[in-house]
């Protein structure tokens, strides 16, 4: 079975500081990993994904994520946080040998403090 864990319900970061939102996963086989962002009363917006290749993937709005196979992690990062980055962030996974749904973590609320 596929699963995703986001251990932090909330992360607070001062504007201008680097941010990290943690994610670990469990799948059988190779994972396809995704990050989505949700602003208040909005749908989920795709940020970035890891399929294969370079472990560091870059996405929208200056975000990046690092795939670590040995630690089964896919942490979301940004070098310098903006107040506008405040939102709910979801990590998601699909097993590479499946062709259907992606499974989401419970989400981490990111607060960027001015």
Partner 1 sequence: EPEVTQTPSHQVTQMGQEVILRCVPISNHLYFYWYRQILGQKVEFLVSFYNNEISEKSEIFDDQFSVERPDGSNFTLKIRSTKLEDSAMYFCASRDRRNSNTGELFFGEGSRLTVL
- Which chain residues interact with partner 1 by CB under 8 A? 32, 34, 36, 42-46, 49, 51, 88, 90, 94, 96, 98-107
- Taking the C-alpha atoms of residue 5 and residue 90, their distance in angstroms, rounded to an integer, is 10
Please state the closest distance from residue 16 (CB atom) to partner 1, in A: 27
Task: Decide: helix, strand or coil at residue 84.
Answer: helix
Please state the closest distance from residue 76 (CB atom) to partner 1, in A: 15
Residue with smaller CB distance to partner 1, 58 or 98: 98
Residue with smaller CB distance to partner 1, 59 or 81: 59
Residue with smaller CB distance to partner 1, 15 or 64: 64
Residue with smaller CB distance to partner 1, 58 or 80: 58
DSSP annotation of 105: -
Please state the closest distance from residue 42 (CB atom) to partner 1, in A: 6
**What single string gives the DSSP state of each residue in 10-43?**
EEEEETTS-EEE--EEE-SS-EEEEEEEE-TT--
CA angle 22, 93, 91 (to 5 degrees): 30
């Amino acid at each position: 079975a596929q699963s995703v864990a986001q251990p932090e319900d909330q992360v607070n970061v001062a504007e201008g500081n680097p941010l990290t939102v943690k994610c670990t996963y469990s799948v059988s086989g190779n994972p396809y990993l995704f990050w989505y962002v949700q602003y208040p009363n909005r749908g989920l917006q795709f940020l970035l994904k890891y399929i294969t290749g370079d472990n560091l993937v870059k996405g929208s709005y200056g975000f990046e994520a690092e795939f670590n196979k040995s630690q089964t992690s896919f942490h979301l990062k940004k070098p310098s946080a903006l107040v506008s980055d405040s939102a709910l962030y979801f990590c998601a996974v699909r097993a590479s040998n499946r062709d259907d749904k992606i499974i989401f973590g419970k989400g981490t609320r990111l607060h960027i403090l001015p």
